[in-house]
Chains A and B, each alone.
Chain A
């Protein structure tokens, strides 16, 4: 089946630094990717919608200057957490939408655990 990967799977960074998370669709082209955030013991909250070749659409309350999203190709979207702080520590999950075996589906990545110290 279709696979979506995320890199890194976990990252620890110091407060004030930036960290980039990659989301790749490995065997299909993804015109749309979604970025979600999940705090411990909580549900997933949509952060933004990323469309290839255009600016991302952010959900209300998500700072676009802090969470930079770039969807530069049909197989790659990146989320950069700028000037990270401990409260940004979370599990970040992406999903990718694309055509696989004549069906348009949405697939989730395995997630990236970010810890800011």
Chain B
């Protein structure tokens, strides 16, 4: 069975500082992994996804994530936080080795950006 664990339900950084949101996964099949962002009362926006190609994945708004099989991790980073990055972030794994299966989401991490 597939699952994801996001370490830290709340992360606070200063504007301009590095953003690091942690995600560890468990998967019985080669994993397809995703990071989504959700702003209040809105749906999900895909930041990036890992689909078994390059292990370092670049997404929108300067976000990137690195797939590390040995650590079963897919942490999300951004070099310099902006105020507009304050939102809820979800890591997810597909239930099959594709990007079109049902997704199992982590608990979410709230990112706060301080001026």
| B61 part of interface (Cβ distance < 8 Å) | no
Inter-chain contact B107/A43, CB cutoff 8 Å: yes
Inter-chain contact B108/A49, CB cutoff 8 Å: no
User: Interface extent on A, as a size class?
Assistant: 20 to 34
A101-117 vs B, CB cutoff 8 Å, 1 = contact: the mask equals 00011101111010000
| B41 part of interface (Cβ distance < 8 Å) | yes
| B100 part of interface (Cβ distance < 8 Å) | yes
A45-80 vs B, CB cutoff 8 Å, 1 = contact: the mask equals 110010000000000000000000000000000000
- Rounded to whole angstroms, the CA-CA distance of A33 and B103 in the bound complex is 12
| A25 part of interface (Cβ distance < 8 Å) | no
Inter-chain contact B107/A109, CB cutoff 8 Å: no
Inter-chain contact A106/B99, CB cutoff 8 Å: yes
Inter-chain contact A110/B100, CB cutoff 8 Å: no
Closest residue to B94 on the A side, CB-wise? Answer: A106
* List of B residues within 8 angstroms of A113 by Cβ: 41
| B106 part of interface (Cβ distance < 8 Å) | yes
| B42 part of interface (Cβ distance < 8 Å) | yes
In-complex Cβ contact of B106 among A34, A43, A49, A106 (8 A): A43
| A93 part of interface (Cβ distance < 8 Å) | yes
- Rounded to whole angstroms, the CA-CA distance of A45 and B104 in the bound complex is 8
- B-side residues, CB < 8 A to A, are 36, 41-46, 90, 98-100, 102-108
